[in-house]
A and B are shown apart, each in its own frame.
Chain A
Amino acid sequence: MSVAAVAHKELRQLSRDPRSLMVLVVLPAVMTLLFGTVLSLDVRHVPISVLDRDGTASSRALVAALTSGEYFELAGHATSDSELDALLLAGKVTIALVVPKGLERSLVTGGRPAVRAVVDGSNAISAQTALGYLEQYVTDFGARLDGERPEPLLSARLRVLFNPELASDRFLLPGLMAMILMVSATIATALSIVKERESGTMEQLRVSPLSAAQVVLGKAMPYSVVSLLAAVLVMATAWLAFGLVVRGSLLLLLLLAGLFVVGAQGLGLVISSVTRSQQVAFQLASYSTLLPSFIISGFVFPLRSMPRALQLLSAVLPVRYFISGLRGVVLKGAGLAVIWPEVAALALFATAMLGLAIWRLHRSEL
């Protein structure tokens, strides 16, 4: 009953500040919309420059074949090697292609001419992928010249599951959603507590006949509802603006989001219990949520490529389980039978954080 009373008080406080409420509910969705537009690791429009020493119909056809798709964009023809080097050094092009003199003649006489691709490797992933596409294009070009080539003895029939277009934004969107929710939920609670302490009303709560558990749950509940509302809005945005369709059960998605949000509130409470001023609470909240949820959560960088120590560190982060659970439900249509480990981990984290917050408050450190 008293949990409800604290929650009621908290809700009234929130509703008296409609601007903050708007920020908490709407800002995550706006962020999703804003950042969703740039969220792509697909390699597209890679700028290339060509030095065509052959200048024949064949060499022109090769260049035309390369730039016909959306992978490469011709940034211009160069006239010398040094011009290509300068373009690469200035970062104007990623690949410089040199077509040797005598390409056409060699092709006609059955030779195996080679073109030279000079690659700026500084952006490792883009460069590597672009080079792969380039080699594929050039090989295909050669094969087309050959006309009737017998079918190979062994070939692969490809079926891509879950994300047939291999679009990186499908994979990144759930991560972005999790990151935004984690940050906004944690910061919101941390600030609400510190604010209460700075304005002295925390003392009043403490001398009231409420138990620590009642205060903590009463504080966490309204913010969890607000954050859950924000989560629903974020998912609706991802669906409406970026066509991210949920393959699995919406109810399961809500369960994941609910557990995650409660855990984030709990973390916010714990953070505010160890800090004294808003500034510090904020710095701690943003370092402990933003950085890990960006880097070691599997949002962008695959967890399996990381050193073991960081993998272990990420195992205690709720955002990691939220992201993989979201991906499971949204992209793969996975059910509880598949993602129960994620659900269990999130539940465990939420319980632990709330428990810790209650314990801290009980020792009147909140």
Chain B
Amino acid sequence: MSVLVPLRGLMLKELRQIRSDRVMIPVLIVAPVLQLFIFGYAATMDVTRARVAVLDLDRTPESRAVAERLGASDSFELAARVPTADAAEALLERGKADLAFIIPAGLGQAMSAGEPAEVQLLVDGTESTSASIGIAGASTLIEGLAAEAEARRATEVESARASVEVRRQVLYNPDFKSRFFMVPGVLAVVLLIVTLMATAMAVVKEKELGTFEMLVVTPVPRSILLAGKLIPFAVFGLLDSVLVLLVSRFWFEVPLRGSALLLLGAALPTLLCTLGLGLLVSTISRTQQQAMVTALFLVMLPLLYFSGFIFPIESMPRLVQPVTEVDALTHLLGILRGVMLRGAGLGELWPSLAKLTAIGAITFAAAVALFRKRLG
């Protein structure tokens, strides 16, 4: 009991400090939700129609069929008809078109004579992902036209050709919405910013103002001091997570197929880790400026980049991949996406949860040890 009284006092003091800071409340509550909205709407790689420029040097029914097919397709948008190949390239250079079909003179004649003909396809490769998808769409379109032309010419039923088909069955996200993949990531980012950044700043601020000295000389045990400082931010972190989860579930309709309890179970060791890191940053920084730069550049950005938040871990160089294993966010994201999208349970996710717990415990213990050493 005697321990809880000062703890309560310290937490109240922290909350009062947060409340007196005019900007703390917006940063702690409004910003996470705003972030989720921007992310939810902007973080989409869902492919829009590729803009196509057409150069028709043939002007036969066959060549016009290509342009008509392009206009009718769901994957393309006829952006321009150009008079020369140079004009087509210029459009690609300006970024006004994504690809260009150049139909050579004599295409129609060749095709009606049953000779193979070629369409030239120019692609702007800068945006590699949409370029690949555009190329695949264009190939399908041309294969379709070729098959139709062959079918028209075929006088007898061809013998069946050997082929293997693929029957696809897409689980968990049948419409391939990239939002489903991104939104759980926002939850992780919010936890990170609110707890790590806010803790680091709050402790260093007190150091700068000199009020930390006063706290240290009070008869309150160090551990209670620390708990009083960290718990309010942990609570804010959890509240924000719940808020973000509710918005993602009911506004963005991202599924929550698994157990919310498991999510909470993953949030706790993550909090240990982020609070520990925040404490670590504040211990090694003398000024708020140093704490900010350290927290942002040396802690938060690396955690994000190496977690597979956006850039998939499989695509990273082999040498870098082990690094992702010590990143707490990697495991948190694994659990968030597993529970929310696939409905995975503890049976599947326990390795991630175990690693996350280990990373959290080690980080927190190390941070507290260093903090005490510096104080003493």
Question: A: which residues have CB within 8 A of B?
Answer: 23, 27, 31, 34-35, 37-47, 62, 73, 86, 88-91, 103, 107, 110-129, 131-132, 134-135, 138-139, 141-143, 145-146, 149, 151-168, 170-171, 183-184, 187, 191, 195, 275, 278-280, 282-284, 286-287, 290-292, 295-296, 300-302, 304-307, 309-310, 324, 327-328, 331-332, 334, 338
Contact = CB atoms under 8 A, between A and B. Distances in A.
A67 to B, nearest CB: 14
Contacts of A126: 312, 314
B278 interface: no
A127 B337 CA distance: 14
A9 to B, nearest CB: 19
A118 B164 contact: no
Contacts of A134: 166
A296 B143 CA distance: 36
A268 to B, nearest CB: 13
B132 A166 contact: yes
Contacts of A143: 163
B188 to A, nearest CB: 14
Nearest to B50: A304
Contacts of B120: 156-157, 159
B142 A156 contact: yes
A124 B176 CA distance: 4
A152 B147 CA distance: 8
Interface string B166-180: 111111111111101
Q: Which 8 A-B pairs have the closest CB atoms?
A: A163-B125, A121-B173, A142-B163, A90-B348, A154-B146, A142-B164, A124-B176, A114-B165
Interface string B295-336: 011000110011000111011110010000000000000100
Contacts of B372: none
B43 A295 contact: yes
Given A123-B181, A156-B139, 8 more contacts: A34-B305, A89-B342, A114-B165, A115-B165, A121-B172, A138-B166, A287-B27, A306-B44
B169 A166 contact: no
A187 B349 contact: no
A163 B162 contact: no
Nearest to A121: B173
A172 to B, nearest CB: 8
A146 B289 contact: no
A166 B166 contact: no
B118 A155 contact: yes
B314 A46 contact: yes
B172 A145 contact: no
B150 A31 contact: no
A164 B62 CA distance: 29
A115 B342 contact: no
A319 B133 CA distance: 26
B181 A124 contact: yes
B225 interface: no
Contacts of B355: none
15 contacts: A35-B301, A40-B311, A41-B310, A43-B314, A44-B315, A119-B171, A129-B129, A131-B168, A142-B162, A153-B146, A157-B121, A163-B125, A166-B128, A296-B42, A332-B126
Nearest to A280: B23
Given A89-B342, A90-B344, A119 B43 contact: no
Contacts of B341: 122
B222 interface: no
B292 A305 contact: no
Contact of B39 (A34, A42, A287, A295): A295
A161 B125 contact: yes
A161 B126 CA distance: 8
B130 interface: yes
B216 interface: no
B169 A119 contact: yes
Contacts of A107: 162, 164
Interface string B133-165: 101101100110111011001000001111111
B169 A168 contact: no
